[in-house]
Amino acid sequence: MSNSLAIATVTAALRQITHHAVSSAVSGAEALIERPLSSISDDDPRVRLFLYQVTPNAALRNDDLPTRAASGSLMKRPTAALDLHYLLAFYGNESDLEPQRMLGAVIRDLHAQPVLLRQVIVNAITSDGSLLTGSNLAEAFEQIKFTPLSLSLEELSKLWSVFFQAPYALSVAYQGTVVLIDSEENAPLAAPVLRRGEADRGVNLALGPFPALESFHIGAPEDEGWRPRQPSYPSAQLGTVLTLIGRNLGGETVSVRFHHIKLGVTRTIVVAQNDKTATEIKIGIGIGDDAAARAAWAAGFYIVTVLIENGGHPRASNQLPLPFSSRISGIAPSVRAGRDVTLTITFDPEVRSTQRASLIIMDREIEAEDPVTETGELRFIIEDAPTVTDAIVRLRIDGVDSLPFRRQPGPPPARMVFDENQKITIL
């Protein structure tokens, strides 16, 4: 890495290389660091070196990221990776072919030694007096390399057009890459490692395939074991059975972690021995439908992860999103006040205070009237309510709708009908 003097140091070093090349080709020739002339007063042999563009290096421009933490504190010293674009314009007596002779000498030397040697950099720093004192480019681990740029006639004409009233001269463009410039800020040093994991045992190497979740199936307990398997419910509910399907799901201890995205609540269920195989894991969600189950679960989206432990070494599977819907148990008779109708919906599990609840009826979505608290009952006011008969309603909590159907009692295969608890009639 190098400091802010790196660009000027590269230019000075390139001037030395160019000066040595042209002076060997034409007696008395010299290299100057300046823009092309607006007028030519003499035929003195000279090459004018001009840095006309600086661009980010495509390969290393993001190599230092991230440089700062979320708090804004410095994590890593920022480094700018740059490419330098130079134009070399050759002047001299055209009848003696001096510009062409100098151009050939420069191309010869830069092709033979395209890498900017550290000794050349040191010589450039010392020869320019105090201008480049403090430059540490010679200590950078990335050495600068010069490559010729193939500019089309259009690109070359556009480049020369930026030099106001400067007549065209024989020229060639080179790119110097890569220049790394460090920030002057120093990142705090990391604390030394005192212990490598539990009991200072270092890295655990666990061979074999990792558990992988591919899909899930949600169904009624009455349909378990029936083949072909019934279609999956679109979301889990209290009283349903969740089957996780994947690969390498067997182990000494298998548990499933449910993390509610909105509430940030995590619960882990240990899978019974007879409910797991290498490809499937079965979990009954509140099968008992008791108060504990209603308090443990919440509608919304869960992130599901399978945790497998063999020989004291835990492994985690990939994650699957699981929608969990509320279940409407009753709708109080609608009360019409003028053109508005009030509905009271009873459901489980309870909605939490930070959750968003709304009622879907036909093409309308009505927000809950009462402030949302931890309750299993919500009131909705349908303004300018239409007259409907046996209209299906859905309770939407955190983006997951209640299921408007239910399974009829009886042996499998299951037969689904619309749930009478989710129908309303407004007169």
Residues 371 and 245 in one domain: no
Report pLDDT for 201: 67
Note whether 31 and 22 are within 8 A (CB).
yes
Helix, strand, coil percentages (3-state) for the chain, rounded to 5, are 20, 40, 45
Residues 90 and 153 in one domain: yes
Q: What is the mean pLDDT of residues 325-354?
A: 86
Q: Is residue 115 in some structural domain?
A: yes
Report pLDDT for 398: 92
Report pLDDT for 205: 61
Report pLDDT for 286: 67
**CATH classification of the domain holding 46:** 3.30.2000
Examine the fold and report which residue of 299, 324, 349 is the final residue of a domain before the chain moves on: 324
Note whether 384 and 424 are within 8 A (CB).
no
Q: Is residue 190 in some structural domain?
A: no
Cα Rg of the chain (Å, integer): 38
pLDDT over 70 at 421, yes or no: yes
Q: What is the mean pLDDT of residues 335-349?
A: 85
Would you tell me the crossing angle of helices 6-25 and 98-112 to the nearest 10 degrees? 120
Q: What is the mean pLDDT of residues 82-93?
A: 96
Q: Which of 62, 54, 117, 63 is nearest to 82 (CA)?
A: 54
Domain containing 246: what range?
Answer: 212-324
Binned at pLDDT 50, 70 and 90, residue 224 comes out as: confident
Q: How far apart are CA 246 and CA 194, in angstroms?
A: 39
**CATH classification of the domain holding 352:** 2.60.40
What DSSP string describes 59-71? Answer: TTTTTT---B-TT
**Model confidence pTM above 0.75:** no
Residues 11 and 44 in one domain: yes
pLDDT over 70 at 208, yes or no: no
Element (H, E) at 159: helix 153-161
Report pLDDT for 37: 78
Strand order in the sheet with 212-219: 212-219, 240-247, 280-285
Q: Is residue 250 in some structural domain?
A: yes
Q: Is residue 240 in some structural domain?
A: yes
Q: Is residue 192 in some structural domain?
A: no
pLDDT over 90 at 370, yes or no: no
Residues 245 and 394 in one domain: no
Residues 139 and 240 in one domain: no
Q: How far apart are CA 193 and CA 217, in angstroms?
A: 45
Residues 333 and 311 in one domain: no
Q: How far apart are CA 26 and CA 94, in angstroms?
A: 12
Q: Is residue 172 in some structural domain?
A: yes
Residue 330: DSSP 8-state: E
Residues 320 and 332 in one domain: no
CA 151 to chain centre: 36
Residues 86 and 217 in one domain: no
pLDDT over 60 at 288, yes or no: no
Q: What is the mean pLDDT of residues 59-79?
A: 87
The two three-digit tokens of residue 53, written as one number: 């563009």
Q: Is residue 18 in some structural domain?
A: yes
3-state SS, residue 61: coil
Residues 170 and 32 in one domain: yes
Examine the fold and report which residue of 304, 324, 344 is the final residue of a domain before the chain moves on: 324
Number of domains composing the chain: 3
Residues 34 and 146 in one domain: yes
Residues 281 and 357 in one domain: no
Residues 391 and 421 in one domain: yes
Q: How far apart are CA 389 and CA 139, in angstroms?
A: 84
**CATH classification of the domain holding 269:** 2.60.40.10
Report pLDDT for 371: 60
Report pLDDT for 11: 97
Examine the fold and report which residue of 292, 324, 356 is the final residue of a domain before the chain moves on: 324
Q: How far apart are CA 401 and CA 395, in angstroms?
A: 6
Q: Is residue 191 in some structural domain?
A: no
Report pLDDT for 39: 64
